[in-house]
Structure 1
């Protein structure tokens, strides 16, 4: 029986972020759509609690013999530590060296290491550039979340392998009507703008907080959901500096709480300076929440005209757009309807089928 081994290391990261959510949701969908005769499993490094990487329907995770840093260094140096299986799917650029007769597909979520290196640590920029460059030369295929990422990647690298765009989806748990007790526990403001994502420079939160202090901003609160990442983005300090007095940061929420946060928001703000996909945009649209997003190419592509686009790093434009959504019922209703139609184009099931097709095609080529 052929086996597809997935690298689920992101689920053990201190701040899993959007790629952690991507890994878990795609694994769930891949387990539900596995082709007859195939086995799906996962592996992680000897770091953290492997239970955090357990996904129903996926065998494992099997713990590799090295801790994370040693595993990264070993694979980077080309040591043939194959994680097993007939084919390997890397959910991030962390991937083993290619092996003759075995399939290897590597996911590249964005091109931030080239386009916006200042929003990452120097070490992160260096490692991602090296890892993605190796995959572009030696893997069997690359997965990217948007055509914008594919085009950008081709400008920065010479790619010798097939590159396929595979979108993301909406977590089904978010579509369930939240328990009123969950809503009460969150003690939500009557009206608020919601933003979701790891608190780090490229998410553009500084500009969002400053937008909420502009005279043209809607008279509502701002809730930001995200764990602190790198870069020392101090939301409370920024809010105090600019006089935005109704800003609240929630570091960690459950899917039930996230569903409640979405459903009670007047708008989702996605002010990122750079993105590869922008999963909260699709999730908000699916739940009938209007979206105001930056002109980062991937966000423009994913929103597909169903959101309001504003220039990056422009608090005044962002404030004006948010007010138009908050205070104009007709505009809001049109955005809600357009968003629901757009979100229907993205499902984890579709993504899982696309990934499986890639591995089946690779296996058919290598076993001719």
Structure 2
């Protein structure tokens, strides 16, 4: 099987959950089969012989992840040419994209459809995605899905969304979960040295990990923390992807009279530091309005960190019995979850032990093997 992977989304610096999926799946596929070829904009750690198309200036603009029209053109032209040139049997897109008319069997990945939801939980987030990106997505995605041999969804929740939103045949959709880095995300006996650099004390802060976007529901989390007495603070570890929303959240902080010590915006946290922040946290709090998966849930569980998360979309599917669930649209519910975790050490211990077991379900090696098997099946169908 001649398998080609489009890893042009794997950029530099802080990676989103979707970009990390592309990175780790590419690495694991190459371990399974060294003949797998990866197309990228730059060298990728753990991936030998990345094919880097020319037009580097064009590619560098794509790495800003802002020029969606250019990315769409890239996939339909430069990557398409590369796929034909390499005589690929199967091409795989780990990002939420694909070729409109693939000249060979194509497998695409859908991570979430949160901005396609119109229920009361998501309506306020409809403007999160730019008008240009919406237009491109609305026009091309149905055709990409229709012309793909198979579709990968990162959760059963996303699988159901695909059926409901685009009418994709349920037999065409295959669930391949995200994973976590087992060497990095683990129990660390002495995290205090790293915590001191951030001015933090173990067990004295709640942790939020994720991009700062409206559907992450950070404003309600801030309001919930404002209802708690005491010195427990909230650490926000996430890159801002929506400046207007970050401004709104900071306005909320000011209006509640919360000091900078209570709400700490850490922006980008280096990969090597994040496991220490998990280990020192009282709990991870992920009260999103919608998630296609929710990678921080698994990372926290692997570190032995209790989890508070929403009772909607993929979060119950991923966290199982290893989390305290709250209603994301209710500030009171979120605040109640924070209080319960802070006050009940027995609950924290139970969630910690359940989390260790739950995290074992989500390993990149297992996900890559499942994906590779799907690629083989698609290749065999194309050859018949």
The verdict on a shared fold, with TM-score over 0.5 as the criterion, is yes
Alpha carbons of structure 1 residues 302 and 232: separation in structure 2 relative to 1, 3 Å:
same
The alpha carbon displacement at 1:98 in A equals 4.1
Alignment counterpart, residue 241 of structure 1, candidates 223, 236, 255:
255
Alignment counterpart, residue 213 of structure 1, candidates 209, 226, 244:
226
The match for 1:73 is 73
Alpha carbons of structure 1 residues 284 and 74: separation in structure 2 relative to 1, 3 Å:
closer
The match for 1:230 is 242
The match for 2:40 is 44
Could you say what secondary structure the match of 1:269 adopts? strand
The match for 1:10 is 9
Cα deviations by residue, 1:310-364 (Å, 9 ceiling, x for unpaired): 1112221111111111111111111111111111111111110011011111111
Alignment counterpart, residue 252 of structure 1, candidates 250, 268, 280:
268
Greater mean deviation of Cα atoms: 144-153 or 77-86:
77-86
Alignment counterpart, residue 333 of structure 1, candidates 349, 370, 381:
349
Could you say what secondary structure the match of 1:297 adopts? coil
In the aligned structure 2, how far is the partner of 1:130 from the partner of 1:354?
30
Q: Are the aligned partners of 1:212 and 1:244 in contact in 2 as well (CA < 8 Å)?
A: no
Alignment counterpart, residue 132 of structure 1, candidates 141, 152, 160:
141
Q: Are the aligned partners of 1:41 and 1:60 in contact in 2 as well (CA < 8 Å)?
A: yes
In the aligned structure 1, how far is the partner of 2:179 from the partner of 2:25?
9
Q: Are the aligned partners of 2:97 and 2:144 in contact in 1 as well (CA < 8 Å)?
A: no
The alpha carbon displacement at 1:203 in A equals 0.6
Could you say what secondary structure the match of 1:95 adopts? coil
Could you say what secondary structure the match of 2:211 adopts? coil
Structure 1 runs not aligned, ≥5 long? none
Alignment counterpart, residue 200 of structure 2, candidates 164, 180, 188:
188
TM-score by length of 2: 0.85
TM-score by length of 1: 0.88
Q: Are the aligned partners of 2:208 and 2:284 in contact in 1 as well (CA < 8 Å)?
A: yes
Alpha carbons of structure 1 residues 97 and 44: separation in structure 2 relative to 1, 3 Å:
farther
Aligned length in residues = 356
The alpha carbon displacement at 1:61 in A equals 4.3
In the aligned structure 1, how far is the partner of 2:324 from the partner of 2:191?
30
Could you say what secondary structure the match of 2:353 adopts? helix
Cα deviations by residue, 1:92-137 (Å, 9 ceiling, x for unpaired): 122223434x321101000123114333223333333334312220
The alpha carbon displacement at 1:220 in A equals 0.6
The alpha carbon displacement at 1:256 in A equals 1.8
The match for 1:91 is 94
Alpha carbons of structure 1 residues 214 and 274: separation in structure 2 relative to 1, 3 Å:
same
In the aligned structure 1, how far is the partner of 2:53 from the partner of 2:335?
48
In the aligned structure 2, how far is the partner of 1:13 from the partner of 1:121?
23
Could you say what secondary structure the match of 2:30 adopts? helix
Q: How does 1:262-277 map to 2 (within 5 A)?
A: 262-277=278-293
Q: Are the aligned partners of 2:99 and 2:144 in contact in 1 as well (CA < 8 Å)?
A: no
In the aligned structure 1, how far is the partner of 2:114 from the partner of 2:227?
29
Q: Are the aligned partners of 1:182 and 1:256 in contact in 2 as well (CA < 8 Å)?
A: no
Q: Are the aligned partners of 2:191 and 2:280 in contact in 1 as well (CA < 8 Å)?
A: no
Structure 2 runs not aligned, ≥5 long? 63-68
Could you say what secondary structure the match of 2:200 adopts? coil
The alpha carbon displacement at 1:236 in A equals 3.0
In the aligned structure 2, how far is the partner of 1:21 from the partner of 1:262?
18
The alpha carbon displacement at 1:77 in A equals 9.0
Q: Are the aligned partners of 1:198 and 1:229 in contact in 2 as well (CA < 8 Å)?
A: yes
Cα deviations by residue, 1:157-200 (Å, 9 ceiling, x for unpaired): 12257100111111122237377643433332341000111111
The alpha carbon displacement at 1:218 in A equals 6.5
In the aligned structure 1, how far is the partner of 2:331 from the partner of 2:113?
24
The alpha carbon displacement at 1:82 in A equals 4.8
Q: Are the aligned partners of 1:82 and 1:96 in contact in 2 as well (CA < 8 Å)?
A: no
The match for 2:66 is none
